[in-house]
Amino acid sequence: MPSINRKHKIRQKPTPYAHHTKASAQYYHNNLWTKLAQWYKKHHPFCERCEAMEKTTPATQVHHKIPFMKGITDEDKWKLLLDEDNLMSVCDQCHVDIHNEMNGRKKKITDLLDDTNEDKTIQR
């Protein structure tokens, strides 16, 4: 039976991040993730991408190195979502950049995209 989506009931702010989609929202909206993200930020208070470039920027968000929606089963998705090793503290700007890179908008990092090609349709 198809479920009815009542859009007017839950209002979600649109985000620029590819993995923050409606499908992923059900994973984000839970206490486990919220707590883990808070905990992770406490332990990694600065943007890890800026740190790599020898800048110190307070982290505002927690990014998943491997998008958890890449998990095939529900269990895989939860594992990726809640795996500390898969997390990365980022600032707003880096988060946008990372996702732009992942989407190939600015640069093509084909190495990173190797196993994330599912969104690509062949355009000739």
The contact set with Zn ion (CB under 5 A) reads 47, 49-50, 57, 63, 91, 94
Q: What DSSP designation does 118 have?
A: G
Q: Which is nearer to Zn ion, 17 or 124 (CB)?
A: 17
Q: Which is nearer to Zn ion, 49 or 77 (CB)?
A: 49
Q: Which is nearer to Zn ion, 54 or 74 (CB)?
A: 54
Beta strands (DSSP E) in 1-124 are: 61-64, 87-90
Length of the chain equals 124
Cβ(50)–Cβ(94) below 8 Å = yes
